[in-house]
Structure 1
Amino acid sequence: MEILDEINERLKLFNAEIAHVYTETALDPELGPDINELDIDEKLKRAILQYGIKKLYKYQYDAYKKIKNRENVLIISGTGTGKTEAFLIPIIDLAIKGERTVLVYPTKALARDQLNRIYSLVKELGLNVGIFDGDTPEKERERLYRDPPHILITNPDMIHIGLALSERFKFLLRTADHFVFDEIHVYEGVLGSHLRNLVDRIREFNKEIHIVGSSATIKATKYLLEELFGVEGDIIEGSKRRRGVAIHSLINSKGASRWTLSAFLSAILIKKGLKVLIFTDSQQMSELVAKIADKFGINLEVHRAGLNVEERISTEEKLRSGKIDGVVATPTLELGLDIGAIDAVIMAENPPNFTKYLQRAGRAGRRNKVALIFTILGEDPIDSYYLRHPKEFFERQINSLTFDRTNLEVLKIHAAAYLAEKFRVNLDKLPELWRRAYKVLNEEGMAKIINSYVYATHNTRKFVSSTSLRSIGPIIRIYEKDKKIGERELPQALHDLYPNAIYLISKKTYLVEELNLNSLIAKVKRMNNDLPYYTKPLYTMDLLEFHKKDEREVYGVKVEYGDMKLLMSVLGYLTYDIYSTRKEKTKNEYTYNEPINFTYVTKGLMIHHPLVDDFNLIDHMEAYHATEHVLISSARVVAGASLTDLGGISFPSGHVVIYDSAIGGTGVAKLLFERLEQAYEISLDIVKSCSCEDGCPNCVYSPYCGNNNKFLSRRKSFRLINDVIEGKLNKRSESVEGSPIA
């Protein structure tokens, strides 16, 4: 395409280039019967025909038959191939017969966005449809209570609180005949753990309920329905990919700032009249890209978590109505919100996994337009790996959902909520993990165990009211004077809100004046001028406790997995040039008089690396620390981890700890534990193929390293990994010794 030639020419300004182009063409799924052949209500047939559907696809017809027979199903089909209609048509037909469905979307915004789509099918059918979420007015709630809707649209957060604290909402849920969960690829990590426990509460552990799941991008097995919903069922697959033509380009940044390149590329496209959506995986980097875009003469708005809801809704409306031509977003816009026709998607960084890549790419080129998708590959180990193996980038397998059903922090929330609903629960009739959760709640004063029963206390409902499915850790509230302007969850907040950190909100620059972990408040002040630098924390991690749950050998090396108690200490911060087009260079380093400490529990693996005979103490430290970094990088390929899903700690004794960054654990570290052989093989390719002297961002440096990438050696890591794989090493230290490096 001419536009790609022009972009490639203009990228030379930054010494960058389009390194690989892949054209994707997908046809419609296999056709099924005409609408008039279906055994459904005649008025519904007319509504479907008016909606513009004359034939079902075969997979839609298969789903229709199973749903009408009350069989549990998981529907998988690519973006724009009609997966919504696959469950909507049968549940509307069942509604006409008097049966009720709860339709669950992962967010309020998506639920409300889908309402118009549903109304267009049911408006002439005399059906009662309603949304019930935290924003539903009291008058509308009363209407829904008086006349329970045939289709109740809600979200997991409302179900969580409503089941526990509202008798009338509980009645709406408990009397429903069918439950549909759309966009289930979202339910990974902590949110997946929440969903499984929420469904267990709906099922009351062993009650039979009818479940329908749906997603455009997920690897589905017959075990997924059991893992996620606790029921058995069938998988129905339509098209594996999005419909239409998409042109995917991988851009080699060659050391240029990916944030500057993203802003520059968006300016080229917007000035050609295209509507652009840029994705980042960092809240602060999305703000940074939007600020840099101002320098190229375009105005990009920001859409991310942590902003006030009103700001996000305003941005969605402006994009949908054409008042703005571009948005920088975190994964908040991955889902199928109607934001109008997007012409191009720019991924400022390689997404955590292929599922997210496909989901983001699917936002472009709707309504039969050719989609343009650009991914900027920078100076990091996995991006360098894919630049050497570009075909592998597009031939990756879609991962199954990864979540940890044993996350005790999640279980405590749902156990308390179930107790608030029931007031008294028989422990003997509960799963073992739930009994463990109630014992902890009893110790914390949130429940009272007497003999074989657990009873709610005056603290139970209060605790449930304060909980959220979107987080486990404590929430830091961000204030400018007396006005709350945002929030951030711990421990992630410690990467952004330490004293003197530069924090960006809605393209405005703030300086963090104070962080109080006791009151969970960060105080910031607005900076009048754009500052020429941004900040990153200097920190250490220490392993306080480790309780083994599993063990295996990997190339003869002992590897354990289990529960961990960690201590994060922020020691100071670094400043970096904000507009540098070359790789990051530290401007200054500052340390605090007293560190900021935060202790939390999670899950992770401990690798008992052997000792290399001719290495001294420093050699070993450089080898272990570099290997920790490169194994975490490899987890992006083998476990679908994002850059911030995992953290690591290295010890001079050879022990390397890799842990889930979220409190309680997400399941990503467990997946790495199970696939560690593959991670070592990819790591070997990374440290072997890099042409640097002895360490660089392309191989062993990490942007999230706590000590600013000190004590790292690519060559020594290569020696260690190669000798491990070849089984040359067997001498090791049994106990964890020495000062840790994060």
Structure 2
Amino acid sequence: MRALLSQLEREGWYRGQVVRTVEVPPRPAVYAPPPPELPEAAKAWLAVQGLWLFRHQAEAMAAIFAGEDVILATGPSSGKTLAMALPILARLAEDPEGTALLLYPLKALAQDQLGKWQKLGAFLGMDVGGIYDGDTPAHLRPKLRGKARLLLTNPYALHQYLEWHHLWAPFLARLRYVVLDEAHWYQGAFGSGVALLLWRLGRLLRRYGAKPTFVLASATSGDPAGLARALLGREARPITEDGSPQGARTWWFWDPDRDPKASAFAQVVQLARFLLEAGLQTLVFVPSRRMAEALSAAVRAAAPHLGEKIAAYRAGYLPEERRALEAGLREGSLRLVVSTCALELGVDIGGLDAVILMGYPGSLASARQQAGRAGRAGRPALVVYVPEEDPLDSYFLHHPEELVFGPVELPVLNPRHRGLLFRHVLCAAAELPLRPEELGELGVQEEELAPLLKAGPLARTPAGLVYAGRTRAVENAPLDALSSRQVRLLWQGETLEVWDEVRARREAFPGAVLLHQGQPFRVRALDLEAGVAELEEFPEDYTTKAVTTETVRILKPEVQQEGLGFGWVEVREEVRAYKVLSRGRLVEVRPLSLPPVEFQTEGIWLLWPTPWEEPGALHGAEHALVALVPLLVGASAKDVGGISTPHHPDTQKPTILIYEGFPGGIGISRALLSRVGEWVRRTAEHLARCPCEAGCPRCVLSARCGSGNQPMDKGGARAILERWRERYGPVG
């Protein structure tokens, strides 16, 4: 890669943008013999394929054969599918009655993985089955339920089917294994809903006498055992020592500001063309569908002689189009592909020479997954990180080792969220009568359900609590929303997504531009009473940001220490206007008139003992702390809000309060509490490293700020964070 960098430095357009390089040494494979329980037919398949088991694969197989619940958390292309599929299919081949249920977070991923399971099943003499989801033709469903040994689906579909479990009785009664692939996706509101979905599945399985083994596969996680515990409600054995080989990997950290005359987009076009012409098969990850199409077109224009070797890949393509693109990458006929995160997950595309990350993808787990697409099969590889104008993106430009080697964020989910939990209680009561001891599994006291019993959706019978609502319980319990009031995003009569009302007020206001699977839409109308936001396609290159003002009261502190507090808060948010931006630049501010949002959630607050701190310093520190939340927990900066004041009425001190943007919270503040000292330290260090003088979008300026980023004092922000560290650092 040094020769390649020297070649780049001779390019006329290059301005020294590679400001840091980080070398990751190669990692040799660590092999282990197959577990003795592996049948001879399975060993024969390994021999035919010329495969030796890596240590983590053999360890996972032994645990699965022993009936242990397992979470396998290793890197990309480490053979997690084989580690699950071989023992499960081998056992099912020996047990003609047994079945298995495989859950994938995305339909496209289930389609990709089905072929792998079918090929291995065919060698072992077993007809695997197929996919059962909303796209499965109605006439095929009875046969799949009745005869399939193995079914692939997704949590959204399973959520709908559990009420009709009597149709699934033969399959469920014989269930031996439940697989959750890409388990790191199950975080936040979605992960909390999936955890409750699995609890509902578990009580049905007890009804049918099934006791399956749960097998989870995940990208590298900050706490795989904790993630499994939160999802399953019980312990699972974590397997994290990756025995697969990895070739040497070089990271280039690219500073677009080295060429102020060219945008980051234009620089990535030149960089992609350079790598393409240098013979490196390259994958570029971008944040949206629109950018995938625009960037691939721009590279084709820059290298017209290679146009047929360049393509875009995104959700929304027909399955046969996606399969053709994936085959082109595997076979090498495609040399450069620009993709959204659709290629981040376990779709088989073979090994690539280079990956460009255009912007930080939101989590270290995702960044490592995307980077792991390069250098497969032990070959050397290049990863280029190109930050956008964002504090978190900028942080990693100045702290490259943390992006490459740093600890992965803690997973955050809260299955005990009361609003979400009670909606799943209603779903469970619609599936089977609920008994008091089952409520105890959720930590719910029966008296907490009195409002539901009084209002009518829940009724008491001799068999237990049953659902008595007029509509299906699942219709009022979307998996990925916490609020009981929902807003459907409608386009041409089709529901694209369902959001909770709090999020809809912030992001689906009239005139807002939003992305669905990378495709831009504009909100034409928002009717909160009907719970509908009407969308229209929006071809213009604009984005929008709500301008909000917040007031936050502390209701019930659970932790009160010198300099630090944590507990329940009440938030009142008002969206008074929104900004229209073009490529990050402000075009105009348009007024809005929406009723305020009020909700209770969890928050964490920092205090200073002085009678007064400059408002600009507190304001800058608040923005920087919010921006770096995703460094520590599996959440987006959009999932939290903040206020700062020289004198908060509930603390009587200068205060910065960071709160969760979800009614009831999902555990972000609690996770931050456990790492607050590190959070403050890393934020102060980032402010020290940012080269600007008065503040910029890479450190303290925020497009979400309701006061126009005024007052603002970057130097003061760094100073008060340093003082907090010096005085209270041991607290964190």
Pairwise TM-score range, normalised by the shorter structure: 0.7 to 0.9
Query: Could you tell me which residue of structure 1 aligns to residue 180 of structure 2?
Result: 181
Query: Could you tell me which residue of structure 2 aligns to residue 570 of structure 1?
Result: 575
Deviations along 1:490-537, one digit per CA (max 9) or x if unpaired, are 54455654334455779987654433333344445556xx75x62423
Give the match's secondary structure for 1:586.
strand
For residues 268 and 141 of structure 2, the distance between their equivalents in structure 1, rounded to whole angstroms, comes to 44
Query: Could you tell me which residue of structure 2 aligns to residue 634 of structure 1?
Result: 628
For residues 224 and 573 of structure 1, the distance between their equivalents in structure 2, rounded to whole angstroms, comes to 37
- 1:224 and 1:495, CA in 2 relative to 1: closer, same or farther beyond 3 A? closer
Query: Could you tell me which residue of structure 1 aligns to residue 671 of structure 2?
Result: 671
Give the match's secondary structure for 2:701.
coil
Give the residue type in structure 1 aligned to 2:80: K
Query: Could you tell me which residue of structure 2 aligns to residue 738 of structure 1?
Result: none
Shift of 1:17: 0.3
Query: Could you tell me which residue of structure 1 aligns to residue 66 of structure 2?
Result: 69
- 1:422 and 1:632, CA in 2 relative to 1: closer, same or farther beyond 3 A? same
For residues 326 and 664 of structure 1, the distance between their equivalents in structure 2, rounded to whole angstroms, comes to 45
Give the match's secondary structure for 1:360.
helix
For residues 278 and 244 of structure 1, the distance between their equivalents in structure 2, rounded to whole angstroms, comes to 20
Deviations along 1:88-120, one digit per CA (max 9) or x if unpaired, are 221122112213332322222222211111111
- 1:374 and 1:519, CA in 2 relative to 1: closer, same or farther beyond 3 A? farther
Gaps of 5+ in 1: 305-309, 579-583, 730-742
- 1:445 and 1:267, CA in 2 relative to 1: closer, same or farther beyond 3 A? farther
Shift of 1:559: 1.1
Give the match's secondary structure for 2:76.
coil
Matches of residues 487-526 of structure 1 in structure 2 within 5 Å?
A: 487=497, 489-490=499-500, 491-493=502-504, 497-502=508-513, 512-524=523-535
Give the residue type in structure 1 aligned to 2:62: K
For residues 521 and 716 of structure 1, the distance between their equivalents in structure 2, rounded to whole angstroms, comes to 44
Give the match's secondary structure for 1:351.
coil
Contact 1:419 1:425 in 2 (8 A): no
Query: Could you tell me which residue of structure 2 aligns to residue 43 of structure 1?
Result: 41
For residues 652 and 156 of structure 1, the distance between their equivalents in structure 2, rounded to whole angstroms, comes to 46
For residues 456 and 276 of structure 1, the distance between their equivalents in structure 2, rounded to whole angstroms, comes to 54
Query: Could you tell me which residue of structure 2 aligns to residue 410 of structure 1?
Result: 420
- Residue 558 (1) aligns with residue 569 (2): no
Give the match's secondary structure for 2:472.
helix
For residues 449 and 180 of structure 1, the distance between their equivalents in structure 2, rounded to whole angstroms, comes to 35
Deviations along 1:24-80, one digit per CA (max 9) or x if unpaired, are 3443432222x6x84443333333323332x32333223222221212222233222
TM-score between the two structures when normalised by the length of structure 2 = 0.84
TM-score between the two structures when normalised by the length of structure 1 = 0.83
Contact 1:510 1:524 in 2 (8 A): yes
Query: Could you tell me which residue of structure 1 aligns to residue 617 of structure 2?
Result: 623
Query: Could you tell me which residue of structure 2 aligns to residue 455 of structure 1?
Result: 466
Query: Could you tell me which residue of structure 1 aligns to residue 404 of structure 2?
Result: 394
For residues 406 and 507 of structure 1, the distance between their equivalents in structure 2, rounded to whole angstroms, comes to 31
For residues 355 and 295 of structure 1, the distance between their equivalents in structure 2, rounded to whole angstroms, comes to 29
Give the residue type in structure 2 aligned to 1:477: L
Query: Could you tell me which residue of structure 1 aligns to residue 305 of structure 2?
Result: none
- Residue 253 (1) aligns with residue 264 (2): no
Shift of 1:538: 3.9
* Equivalent residue pairs, number: 696
For residues 228 and 702 of structure 2, the distance between their equivalents in structure 1, rounded to whole angstroms, comes to 37
Query: Could you tell me which residue of structure 1 aligns to residue 196 of structure 2?
Result: 197
Q: Which moved more, 1:423-432 or 1:182-191?
A: 423-432
- The match for 2:89 among 87, 92, 105 is 92
Give the residue type in structure 2 aligned to 1:678: E
For residues 405 and 516 of structure 2, the distance between their equivalents in structure 1, rounded to whole angstroms, comes to 37
Deviations along 1:634-685, one digit per CA (max 9) or x if unpaired, are 3232335433232223345234332233454332222112211211112222
Shift of 1:203: 2.7
For residues 508 and 100 of structure 1, the distance between their equivalents in structure 2, rounded to whole angstroms, comes to 38
Give the match's secondary structure for 1:204.
helix
Shift of 1:151: 2.6
For residues 5 and 434 of structure 1, the distance between their equivalents in structure 2, rounded to whole angstroms, comes to 64
Deviations along 1:403-457, one digit per CA (max 9) or x if unpaired, are 2232223313321221111044436753354447745644664323579942210
Give the residue type in structure 2 aligned to 1:469: L
- 1:693 and 1:235, CA in 2 relative to 1: closer, same or farther beyond 3 A? closer
Q: Which moved more, 1:418-427 or 1:672-681?
A: 418-427
Query: Could you tell me which residue of structure 2 aligns to residue 78 of structure 1?
Result: 75
Shift of 1:181: 2.1
Contact 1:318 1:324 in 2 (8 A): no
For residues 407 and 504 of structure 1, the distance between their equivalents in structure 2, rounded to whole angstroms, comes to 27
Give the residue type in structure 2 aligned to 1:721: L
Contact 1:217 1:398 in 2 (8 A): yes
- 1:249 and 1:449, CA in 2 relative to 1: closer, same or farther beyond 3 A? farther
Matches of residues 30-429 of structure 1 in structure 2 within 5 Å?
A: 30-33=30-33, 38-53=36-51, 55-98=52-95, 99-130=98-129, 131-147=131-147, 149-204=148-203, 209-220=212-223, 222-239=225-242, 243-254=246-257, 257-270=263-276, 276-280=282-286, 283=288, 286-288=289-291, 290-291=293-294, 294-297=297-300, 301=312, 303=314, 310-311=316-317, 313=319, 316-322=322-328, 328-339=338-349, 342-367=352-377, 369-426=379-436
| Seq. identity, % | 25
Give the match's secondary structure for 2:637.
coil
For residues 399 and 176 of structure 1, the distance between their equivalents in structure 2, rounded to whole angstroms, comes to 33
Deviations along 1:286-313, one digit per CA (max 9) or x if unpaired, are 5246436545545764635xxxxx5364
Contact 1:303 1:312 in 2 (8 A): no
Q: Which moved more, 1:690-699 or 1:498-507?
A: 498-507
- Residue 539 (1) aligns with residue 547 (2): yes
Contact 1:74 1:234 in 2 (8 A): yes
Q: Which moved more, 1:410-419 or 1:202-211?
A: 202-211
Shift of 1:540: 1.4
- 1:377 and 1:507, CA in 2 relative to 1: closer, same or farther beyond 3 A? closer
Give the match's secondary structure for 1:166.
helix
Shift of 1:396: 0.4
For residues 16 and 598 of structure 2, the distance between their equivalents in structure 1, rounded to whole angstroms, comes to 42
Contact 1:545 1:566 in 2 (8 A): yes
Shift of 1:340: 5.5
Deviations along 1:562-603, one digit per CA (max 9) or x if unpaired, are 3x554443322323343xxxxx542332323x2465555543
- 1:134 and 1:340, CA in 2 relative to 1: closer, same or farther beyond 3 A? farther
- Residue 659 (1) aligns with residue 659 (2): yes
- 1:180 and 1:428, CA in 2 relative to 1: closer, same or farther beyond 3 A? closer
Query: Could you tell me which residue of structure 2 aligns to residue 20 of structure 1?
Result: 20
Q: Which moved more, 1:678-687 or 1:168-177?
A: 168-177
Q: Which moved more, 1:342-351 or 1:237-246?
A: 237-246
Contact 2:628 2:637 in 1 (8 A): no
Give the match's secondary structure for 1:213.
strand
Give the match's secondary structure for 1:32.
coil
Q: Which moved more, 1:187-196 or 1:198-207?
A: 198-207
